[in-house]
Amino acid sequence: MSIEFIEIPLWYCVVIICFLLMIVFLIQYKRRESLQRPFFLGLSIFMLGYGIARLIENIRRYSIGSYNDILDAWKTGTQIVGLNFWLRILYYAIAWAMIAMFYYNIEKNIFKKNKFLLTICALVEGVLSITIYFYFNDIVFWASVFNFFIVGFFIPILFLNLAMKTPSGSIRNGCILISIGMLLFVLGVMIDLPESSYFMYLLGQEVPEDLIRITTPIILIMGLLSFSIGFKTFFPKE
């Protein structure tokens, strides 16, 4: 049985869950009082945008390109081409724009002392990720890898730290769920990136590809659901 028989439906489940969560947060937006409404509207827009980005990538990977086409091209010093190339660029542009907006929403409403540094880092990561496809070199690649760790893993740490400082209650429970969910979401995104596969290739390490292809969308789904429940818990109805 081909691994894609399981893998493809799982990735389309990610898209469906994003769209369903978009509706959930839109309902929350309509039900909340004025101070909380913009935050839930932002979450709804993020879910819609990320779901569209993931749908584009699913179509690119499974209907136009292939699972390892980007990695195989990088190994030979080339790039994917044509519609395959432009759909990948579109995926990155939408996904990182949505992630930056997501971080802006968090920093504006929760971590106000951050001065939107993570939002800026997310935008930089989007630019670096796209640049790799136009001008691939070691400097851009390693800058993207380093910046991704800042963008990806600092938010879960911030929420975990907030949970430790918060007395038991809905806010503390929400922080824990958000921290776990964001960590899973970031891991799912990271494992799926060709940059991660190329990193392991440079290290000469073999990866259990079939296991990764099945577990990655599951990890991403768990992350989306966890931090969505966490944000709803973090912001009890006024």
Q: Give me the residue label for tokens 């809905």.
A: 170
What residues contact residue 194 under an 8 Å CB cut-off, 6+ apart? Answer: 70, 71, 74
**Is the pLDDT assigned to residue 1 strictly greater than 60?**
no
pLDDT at 124: 97
Residue 235 binned pLDDT confidence (cut-offs 50, 70, 90): confident
Which stretch of DSSP H or E encloses residue 223? helix 209-234
- How far apart CA 13 and CA 11 sit, in angstroms, is 5
Measured in residues, the chain has a length of 238
Q: The CATH number of 4-234 is which of 1.10.10, 1.10.3720, 1.20.1070, 3.10.350?
A: 1.20.1070
Cα→Cα distances 40→32, 35, 102, 105, 159, Å: 8, 10, 11, 9, 18
Tokens, residue 220: 């991403």
Q: How many CB atoms lie under 10 A from the CB of residue 23?
A: 12
Cα Rg of the chain, angstroms: 18
- Rounded to an integer, the average pLDDT of 26-37 is 86
CB 52 within 8 A of CB 94: yes
pLDDT digits (tens, 9 = 90+) for 139-187: 999 999 999 999 999 999 999 999 999 887 888 999 999 999 999 999 9
pLDDT digits (tens, 9 = 90+) for 38-65: 899 999 999 999 999 999 999 999 999 9
Which stretch of DSSP H or E encloses residue 123? helix 117-134
pLDDT at 206: 82
pLDDT digits (tens, 9 = 90+) for 67-109: 999 999 999 999 999 999 999 999 999 999 999 999 999 999 9
pLDDT at 172: 92
CB 181 within 8 A of CB 227: yes
**Is the pLDDT assigned to residue 238 strictly greater than 70?**
no
- Rounded to an integer, the average pLDDT of 120-134 is 96
